Amino acid sequence: MRSGALAEMTIMLAAQGKGLASGAMSGFDPVAVSAECKLASNEIPVMLLAVGRPAPGNWPRKVRRDVGAVLSFSAD
Ligand SMILES: Cc1cc2nc3c(=O)[nH]c(=O)nc-3n(C[C@H](O)[C@H](O)[C@H](O)COP(=O)(O)O)c2cc1C
């Protein structure tokens, strides 16, 4: 699972470097994906990743609050 997550992030970064957009997805039917991809019984689909050319007007990230508004550190 962890290796799959790291691999997916690396692919996302590589895709972005190539000017592509990507979207991770963990909410899927693993049985259906396994059947569609003809996975062996000892192979488990961890995540899906959609990769493609960004549509005109696409933005890299939706609006987020500043980190300082949602995270604080305490020395106590
Ligand atoms: C590991 C991972 C799994 C995700 N799985 C789903 C998913 O199953 N369905 C979904 O709608 N969004 C999922 N997301 C969120 C989308 O990929 C995306 O990050 C989210 O829609 C926020 O998009 P934004 O950054 O443009 O606002 C997942 C994100 C991550 C990092």
The verdict on residue 60 lying in a domain is yes
For 57: left if phi > 0, alpha if psi spans -120 to 50, otherwise beta; the answer is left
> Ligand 1 centre and the CA of 74: distance in Å?
30
Are 30 and 45 in contact by the 8 Å Cβ rule? The answer is: yes
Q: Give residue-wise pLDDT tens across range 22-73.
A: 999 999 999 999 999 999 999 999 999 999 999 998 876 778 899 999 999 8
The verdict on residue 76 lying in a domain is no
pLDDT at residue 42, rounded to an integer: 94
The verdict on residue 23 lying in a domain is yes
The verdict on residue 10 lying in a domain is yes
Q: Tell whether ligand 1 has an atom less than 6 A from the beta carbon of residue 32.
A: no
pLDDT higher than 90, residue 6:
yes
The verdict on residue 45 lying in a domain is yes
Higher pLDDT, 1 or 32: 32
Atom of ligand 1 nearest to the CA of 60: 26
Beta strands at 48-52 and 21-25: parallel, antiparallel or unpaired: antiparallel
As for how many domains the chain has, the answer is 1
Model pTM score: 0.77
Q: Give the separation between CA 70 and CA 68, rounded to whole angstroms.
A: 6
pLDDT at residue 58, rounded to an integer: 82
The verdict on residue 75 lying in a domain is no
